[in-house]
Amino acid sequence: MNYQTEMKLKRWNRKPLIAYGLLGITGFMYLLQEVLGGSTNSLVLVRLGAKVNELIVLGDWYRLITPMFLHIGITHLLFNALILYFLGIQLESIFGHWRFLLLYVFSAIAGNAASFAFNTSISAGASTALFGLFGSTLVLGKLFPSNMQIGAMAKNFSLLIVLNLVFGLMSPGIDMAGHVGGLIGGYLLAYAISAPRAWGNKKQQIKYALIYVGVVALFILIGYARYIPITQLFN
């Protein structure tokens, strides 16, 4: 490989490819929603994978993932897309492409599992994953204690997290369970996946990964218990 090709690959690798890809998929799914009948149409949302507790109980486990690609209305889409663009680019450069993808997807799973446990309404949106990104910023100061810029970013996002949670409490129809679940998931995952040249403590990473799995399993168990007698869950 010649020098110019190597430099082009390095520059390409530094681009936020995952964030751009997630934005592209989300935009495509919104267009598909509109073509099929509208992003606010409940039948379209259910058809494309929104979180529906009863269907999850019946075996649609993919509904713990797919809601993050669906949005209800253009305002919902644009607000979440802006957060993903500005915050996602920063975090992808810190965590790396694949760690960032894991953080985003598994935060959404944690948020949707919490919504499954505590919210009976149909829900959709990237907020579960985005709150996971917010949660990861709380850890960055500990992962990079000598980096003042990252430390300042972590403090700024701490305030944004509080404001978003307060706004959610005051706004009817907001899936607070999903937001808090995503926040918890992102916090735990930031330790579990760590970051290149950062924490690097394997035992601690495994510990936080196991805590994450335990929390998500608990959410799912609670969700099932709302529809299935607890004695049947273990038969």
Burial of 130 (0-12, 13-18, 19+ CB in 10 A): buried
Catalytic site includes residue 42: no
Instruction: Identify whether the C-beta of residue 222 lies closer than 8 Å to the C-beta of residue 118.
Output: yes
Strand partners, 123: 51
Catalytic site includes residue 76: no
> In sequence order, which residues have a C-beta less than 8 Å from that of residue 80 and are 6 or more positions away?
26, 71, 125, 126, 127, 130
Catalytic residue among 115, 127, 136, 194: 127
Catalytic residue among 76, 107, 179, 194: 179
CA gap 190, 180 in Å, rounded = 15
CA gap 160, 143 in Å, rounded = 20
Which residues are the active-site residues?
127, 179
